[in-house]
Amino acid sequence: SELVGDVLVFLFDVYKSITNWMNNQCSDLQPHEIIFMTLITVCALLYFYNLLFDHDQSFAVRAKSGFFYHVKRLPIVRSIVAKQMNNVLKEVSAEKLFPLKSGMGYMGQLPEHGRSEGDIDSMVEEYLTLDEVEWNKGNVSGTVYGGDPQLTDVIARVYKKFAWSNPLHPDVFPALRKMEAEIVRISCNLFHGDPQTSCGCVTVGGTESILLACKTYRDWAYEKGIKKPEMICPVSAHAAFEKAAHYFKLKLIHIPCDPQTRTADVGAMKRAITSRTCMLVASAPPFPHGVLDPISDIAALGVRYGIPVHVDACLGGFLLPFMDDAGFPVAPFDFSVPGVTSISADTHKYGYAPKGSSVVMYSEKKWIHYQYFVSPDWQGGIYATPMFAGSRSGAIVAACWATLVYFGREGYVERTRKIISTARYIEAGLRKIDSIFVLGKPEMSVVALGSLDFDVFRLSSELVKRGWNLNNLQFPSSIHICCTMLHTSPGVADRLLRDVAESVDIIMDNPKAQTTGAGALYGMAQSIPDRSIVTEISQSFIDALYNTGHHQPLTNGNNYAH
């Protein structure tokens, strides 16, 4: 206690000498001067605090984009950029990107008179002549995960029965409600959710599932009094998390991945946690490299700091639960890991259901109520929906249910075995080819490759020439194949390996040659420091999707062709 007394006396002395010093400094000042200087100082501090920290994007990112924004407004730069951009944007048009068959035109107006059934059928056939990519032969990475012709018939029959149904009206469509509830329960059980507390809902896709989870945790954070919630995502996490940050005013904190394993750097995630953190993200697997983030470690951080953890299993969702039985054991990834509070899993990927369905699940009911939207006072009646959509397609939900039932557990295990065996076969084959390397340790259906000897996008362009449609990835430059049922057909994997080996041979004749084709565009886009240019070109690409060129005048109602 004598020590405490000494410390107090010492602190008091320090305090007195500081205040004495301050009083001396101010002795010549008028009271109003002191008041004004204090005000100005406080305002300046607040200004700099806001500038540096109080923003959805980091100061560095804003400083960089601000710099380019102002440089581009300089008259000389402006005219050069405008000229270059016009040249590029000319290439980004429907005429260039999506040319029609000669003689085909766009329909811009309703046909004056309705068409007969036969007309519609022949019009559809004509439109389909535009589709030349042979996805059904396994030429495309990911995209179509099942494509089973027999299942197509089942789905079409089910679709017909539910074509006019809408989950928004469970009183009118109770059969549909039962199906949707069963999809959620089946999924929760697959992911070892507690039978009493786990819950979820069917959404229209992985992006919606992710957006909903982010919205849930944001609202939870708001309730806790966090005014500017932050979410921590590995850079490999899906762009949908960035979309969520963009829509919901969340601050996205990106953490790096290990350059060797390509999995989330848990140490960096731990260091990024603050009192504002509202969620941690792990992917199973991340889309780019098909590895598995250290989910147990990330979930342990969640438990330790009381932060919810979302596992994005959109891609791996309906492979992972069957991996053990298929003979490819993986580390725990689901609700059996303490700390995992939500999971997104796409039925429209490896669930093999038609596009337009996904599931978002929570470990406990307390979370999902943050997801719901209720308007108790709407003039149209008390309005309550669990997700973003109001009316939705009931037929897609019914088709998803039918798909799950059609395959059953055994069917999924069998398909998982086929797909993973194929991916492992492709991985082993690629590892034998010189001058390229496989990124990380692929745990599931995605195998990514890069090269230290040449620009890997050249390989991508060579493969395009040979009829392959793989995915280009950036930061680092790499390409990947996402194996689906369509790659398990005999000969497809060998065809790919042969084409990669032959392409690499051709490239290695002249490893430093310039990249051409779509791959060149990708390499260039990565090297542009001003990301707003890439954004602008991408916006033009989206515009081009809706571009119908010069609308043809309506003649005799026969305006869809010619």
Ligand X SMILES: *Cc1c(COP(=O)(O)O)cnc(C)c1O
Ligand Y SMILES: *[C@@H]1O[C@H](CO)[C@@H](O)[C@H](O)[C@H]1NC(C)=O
Closest to 356 measured CA to CA, from 407, 392, 316: 392
Find all residues with CB under 8 Å of 62, minimum gap 6, and list them.
55
458 belongs to the binding site for ligand X (CB under 6 A)? no
Contact 223, 374 (CB under 8 A): no
- Shortest Å, Cβ 132 to ligand Y: 6
SS3 letters across 306-348: CCCEEEEECCCCCCHHHHHHHCCCCCCCCCCCCCEEEEEECCC
Residue 126 near which of ligand X, ligand Y, none (CB within 5-8 Å, type-dependent): none
User: Across the strands, what pairs with 129?
Assistant: none
288 belongs to the binding site for ligand X (CB under 6 A)? no
Contact 299, 250 (CB under 8 A): no
Residue 356 near which of ligand X, ligand Y, none (CB within 5-8 Å, type-dependent): none
Residue 346 near which of ligand X, ligand Y, none (CB within 5-8 Å, type-dependent): ligand X
H helix and E strand count, the chain:
19, 13
Of 6-14, 208-216, 239-247, 463-471, the segment contacting ligand Y by CB under 6 A is: 463-471
495 belongs to the binding site for ligand Y (CB under 6 A)? yes
Q: Give the residue at shortest CB distance from ligand Y.
A: 467
Question: Which one among 134, 153, 434, 505 touches ligand Y, defined by CB under 6 A?
Answer: 134
The DSSP line for 71-106 is HHHSHHHHHHHHHHHHHHHHHSSHHHHSPPPTTB--
CB closer to ligand Y, 489 vs 526: 489
207 belongs to the binding site for ligand X (CB under 6 A)? yes
Of 6-14, 26-34, 129-137, 428-436, the segment contacting ligand Y by CB under 6 A is: 129-137
State which of positions 346-365 bind ligand X (CB under 6 A). 346, 358
Task: Locate 218 and state its tokens.
Answer: 């944001």
**Is the Cα dihedral 8, 9, 12, 14 positive or negative?**
negative
Question: Which one among 62, 64, 115, 137 touches ligand Y, defined by CB under 6 A?
Answer: 137
Question: Which one among 147, 170, 429, 467 touches ligand Y, defined by CB under 6 A?
Answer: 467
Start-to-end CA distance of the chain, whole Å, equals: 98
Question: Which one among 146, 193, 200, 205 touches ligand X, defined by CB under 6 A?
Answer: 205
Task: Locate 297 and state its tokens.
Answer: 């470690």
Of 130-138, 158-166, 187-195, 422-430, the segment contacting ligand Y by CB under 6 A is: 130-138
- Shortest Å, Cβ 285 to ligand X: 7
CB closer to ligand X, 351 vs 523: 351
The H-or-E segment that residue 478 falls in is strand 478-482
CB closer to ligand Y, 141 vs 358: 141
CB closer to ligand Y, 323 vs 463: 463
x/- map, 266-285, ligand X, by CB under 6 A:
-----------------x--
Residue 499 near which of ligand Y, ligand X, none (CB within 5-8 Å, type-dependent): ligand Y
139 belongs to the binding site for ligand Y (CB under 6 A)? yes
Of 111-119, 162-170, 179-187, 307-315, the segment contacting ligand X by CB under 6 A is: 307-315
- Shortest Å, Cβ 502 to ligand Y: 10
- CB-side neighbour CA atoms (13 Å) of 144: 17
Q: Would you tell me how many other CB atoms lie within 10 Å of the CB of residue 50?
A: 10
x/- map, 74-113, ligand Y, by CB under 6 A:
----------------------------------------
- Shortest Å, Cβ 499 to ligand Y: 5
The H-or-E segment that residue 280 falls in is strand 277-283
Tokens 């249910």 belong to 401
Q: Mapping DSSP to helix (H, G, I), strand (E, B) and coil, where does residue 239 land?
A: helix
CB closer to ligand Y, 441 vs 495: 495
From CA 193, how far away is CA 199, in angstroms rounded?
A: 8
DSSP state of 69: H
Residue 258 near which of ligand X, ligand Y, none (CB within 5-8 Å, type-dependent): none
Q: Give the residue at shortest CB distance from ligand X.
A: 206
The H-or-E segment that residue 255 falls in is strand 251-255
From CA 461, how far away is CA 479, in angstroms rounded?
A: 11
Tokens 């690409």 belong to 541
The amino acid at residue 40 is: I
CB closer to ligand Y, 477 vs 489: 489
Question: Which one among 201, 240, 292, 301 touches ligand X, defined by CB under 6 A?
Answer: 240
466 belongs to the binding site for ligand Y (CB under 6 A)? yes
CB closer to ligand X, 142 vs 229: 142
Q: Are strands 340-345 and 230-234 parallel, antiparallel or unpaired?
A: unpaired
Residue 139 near which of ligand Y, ligand X, none (CB within 5-8 Å, type-dependent): ligand Y
Strand order in the sheet with 230-234: 199-203, 358-362, 340-345, 309-313, 277-283, 230-234, 251-255
Site for ligand Y, rule CB under 6 A: 132, 134, 137, 139, 466-468, 495, 499
Site for ligand X, rule CB under 6 A: 205-207, 210, 238, 240, 283, 286-287, 312, 314-315, 346, 358
